[in-house]
A = this chain, B = another copy of it.
């Protein structure tokens, strides 16, 4: 009989960075960021907590950075035709959906100094605006305005409803605010 390596003998796939991050995301989505601890994460992976450090030497810092990258890296796809507004609307809607799907990670996205995670996304937006006819600087500013708006508005939404106020249609509100920015961008584009 062929002897399996000890890890496989415990009926458990070997640890990977990817598996660790997925398990962490599962905990955060299901129980909240506050319940993500190294020990619990170890339990979820059927491993002692310290085993994680072999794959992530920087420990929890590295884990949280990994979560941010996993959720926040989300570049926009360039428009098929001329309709750059449509492309931006689609990106914004999808990005908001992703952030709300992993709402526990949003504080990390906002907080952590992990610029690389957002710079890809910002670059894709900038490129779309540049091709729409905005000057270089205006395109970069517009890209960050969009990114800031989507993140900020989603954060406001996830803070929960103010008691004593009429319930809000956050979908409609998000779209309305987005159109404000798109209107402003249109007035600065080559083809307004």
Tell me the number of copies of this protein: 2
Contacts of A187 in B (CB 8 A): 183
Residues of chain B lying within 8 A (CB to CB) of residue A112: 159
Bound Cα distance A180, B153 (Å): 16
A144 touches B173 (CB 8 A): yes
Closest CB-CB distance, A16 to chain B, in whole Å? 27
* Stretch from A51-59, A73-81, A85-93, A161-169 that touches the partner: A161-169
Q: Which residues of chain A have a CB within 8 Å of any CB of chain B?
A: 106-107, 110-116, 118-119, 138, 140-142, 144-145, 147-156, 159-163, 165, 172-173, 176-177, 179-185, 187-188
- By Cβ-Cβ distance, the 7 closest A-B pairs, closest first, are A152-B152, A180-B184, A145-B177, A148-B153, A148-B152, A115-B162, A183-B184
